[in-house]
Amino acid sequence: MRSSGLDFNKKEVININNGKKLGYVQDVNADLKSGNITSILVPGNYKFINIFSDSSLVEIPWEKITCIGEDVILVDI
């Protein structure tokens, strides 16, 4: 899987376990030494956001990504 972090903005993330659409990639985290993407960030479930949290984003580790297509990213969470 070779892709630029900039390419991820327009991709929708779908959980393969239940078919639930998690939203579009909002940001990516990367290891600055290696340049590898370590995780993607998607909108969180607003019903369960901690009121003390600064972020409404959910981090999905790179290892949980099963497939990256033209329009979607499939994750196993």
| DSSP characters over 29-65 | EE-TTT--EEEEEEE--GGG--TT-S--EEEEEGGGE
Per domain, the residue ranges of the chain are 5-75
**Lookup: tokens for 64:** 């949980």
CATH superfamily entry for domain 5-75? PRC-barrel domain (2.30.30.240)
Q: Are 56 and 46 in contact (CB under 8 A)?
A: yes
As a whole number of angstroms, the distance between CA 20 and CA 42 comes to: 13
d(CA 48, CA 35): 32
pLDDT one-digit tens code per residue, 50-77:
454 556 888 999 999 999 999 999 999 8
- Say what the pLDDT of residue 35 is: 85
pTM: 0.75
Residue 28, amino acid = V
